[in-house]
Amino acid sequence: MYLKRLKDLREDNDLTQVAVAKILKITRPQYSLYETGKRDIPIDLLRILAKKVYKTSIDYLVGDTDIPDRYPESKSIKL
């Protein structure tokens, strides 16, 4: 899965691959493989990028929507 938005968002936020890799606690070469689509990025890392780094939705990162807004946080339902 090639995620062009990973690179675009990283550059728009003035981050280097090294900086993003440190946030994700992985190596820069490993992150580069995700950004170029040579390896699929695990969902847990997508969650970190979407929620904590870029403040967007996973759907936006993977190109399923062009709306960058995050979804509202879900509320637990008490039974």
For domain 4-61, the CATH superfamily is lambda repressor-like DNA-binding domains (1.10.260.40)
pLDDT tens digits, one per residue of 2-39: 678 999 999 999 999 999 999 999 999 999 999 999 99
Nearest to 12 by CA among 65, 68, 63, 64: 68
Spans of all domains in the chain = 4-61
Predicted TM-score (pTM) of the model is 0.82
pLDDT in the model for residue 39? 94
pLDDT in the model for residue 74? 64
Contact 35, 3 (CB under 8 A): yes
Whether the CA torsion 47, 51, 54, 57 is positive or negative: it is positive
pLDDT tens digits, one per residue of 39-77: 999 999 999 999 999 999 999 998 888 888 877 766 666
